[in-house]
Amino acid sequence: MADWTALGTGLIINVILGTIVLHLAARFGKVDDATIVKAFMAALIVAILGLVLGYVYYLGGIIAFILAIVVIKYVYATSWGKAVITWILYIILMIVLLIIVGLILGVSYLALG
């Protein structure tokens, strides 16, 4: 049985963080006309793909993560090269962000515990 609250919360967090990180990645990747609205649309599509494919299929989240290249290419109307560069920057920035958040949460847990 699905925990709908956790799925909804995860979707919202993925869209918010994905929008911010994808917008930065598109700017760093020199994508033409990289707007926050396009980043939001791409992040929303990727988050929904990840949620649906991850719920239906065991490796669906990984497949959706790879499909993000296609989503980036068509939402931003850019070349495949810039889409792949933006995707790689997206992965790197997301990992850095998650490490920073993890360290902050870990240190605050240790300080309070």
The alpha carbon torsion through 92, 70, 11, 101 (nearest 10 deg) reads: 0
pLDDT at 72: 94
pLDDT digit string, tens, across residues 49-106: 888 887 777 788 788 888 999 999 999 999 999 999 999 999 999 999 989 988 998 8
Q: Residue 94 is which amino acid? A: M
Q: Which amino acid is at 83?
A: A
Work out the angle between the directed axes of helices 60-76 and 80-112 (0-180°, nearest 10). 130
53 alpha carbon, distance to own chain's centre: 15
Domain that holds residue 10: 4-112
